[in-house]
C-alpha cells in the first residue's frame, strides 16, 4: 500500500505508441501530458521495477532488447 512501481521500458513504450499514433487518436494536450508524466523521474512512494543504480545490467539488457525489437518492427 502506498507504493507505486514504475517499469521504465513499459512507460517508454506507452509514450512511443501515444506519440506515434495517428491524427485524432490523441490530442496534443494528451500527448504533452504523456511526455510530462514520462520525464518526471521521482514522486513519493515510487519504486523502479528493473533499473537500480547499484546494478544497471538488467536495465541495459532490457533496453537493448527493446531497441532491437523496435528496429525489427519497422
pLDDT tens-digit map of 6-63: 888 889 889 999 999 887 899 999 999 999 999 988 888 888 888 888 888 998 999 9
CA nearest to 38, candidates 9, 13, 15, 16: 15
Q: Given a cut of 90, is residue 1 above it in pLDDT? A: no
Write down the pLDDT at residue 36.
Answer: 93
Integer angstrom CA distances of residue 43 from 5, 27, 29, 39, 68: 11, 26, 22, 11, 30
Rounded to whole angstroms, the Cα distance separating 5 from 24 reads 30
Which of the pair, 64 or 44, is modelled with greater confidence? 64
- Report how far Cα 7 is from the mean position of its chain's Cα atoms: 7
Amino acid at each position: 500500500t502506498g507504493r507505486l512501481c514504475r517499469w521504465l521500458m513499459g512507460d517508454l513504450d506507452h509514450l512511443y505508441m501515444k506519440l506515434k499514433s495517428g491524427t485524432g487518436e490523441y490530442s496534443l494536450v494528451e500527448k504533452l501530458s504523456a511526455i510530462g508524466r514520462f520525464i518526471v523521474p521521482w514522486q513519493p512512494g515510487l519504486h523502479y521495477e528493473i533499473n537500480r543504480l547499484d546494478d544497471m545490467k538488467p536495465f541495459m539488457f532490457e533496453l537493448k532488447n527493446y531497441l532491437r525489437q523496435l528496429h525489427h518492427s519497422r
